Amino acid sequence: MQSMPLIKLHRINKGGEIVISSEHLLFIEVESKATTVHMTGNLLFSVEEPVDSIAERIEEIETNRIKRAIQQSGLVST
């Protein structure tokens, strides 16, 4: 079973950091400068990070995961 990437975000309303699994992320919305992360289990978190920043983090993590898998498969020499 493949583990999904964890993303560290900063909560607005309660302060502090949260770490979420991208596997449980449903969608992200922006309303008047507030970024809200919608997750499975009807969980919502308002976070400081802009939506573009979150999307870039997920893309970077997933790209690196795919690169590692290809390298480990032996299809490409490192």
pLDDT digits (tens, 9 = 90+) for 6-20: 899 999 877 789 999
Does residue 1 fall inside a structural domain?
no
Cα separation, 68 vs 15, in Å, equals: 34
pLDDT in tens, 39-78: 999 999 999 999 999 999 988 888 888 888 888 888 776 5
Per residue, what are the HEC states of 13-74? CCCCEEEEEHHHEEEEEEECCEEEEEEHHHEEEEECCCHHHHHHHHHHHHHHHHHHHHHHHC
Does residue 14 fall inside a structural domain?
yes
pTM of the shown model? 0.74
Does residue 36 fall inside a structural domain?
yes
Does residue 78 fall inside a structural domain?
no
- Distance of alpha carbon 46 from the chain centroid: 14
Q: How many domains does the chain have?
A: 1
Tokens of 18: 């949260």
Range of the domain at 23: 6-73
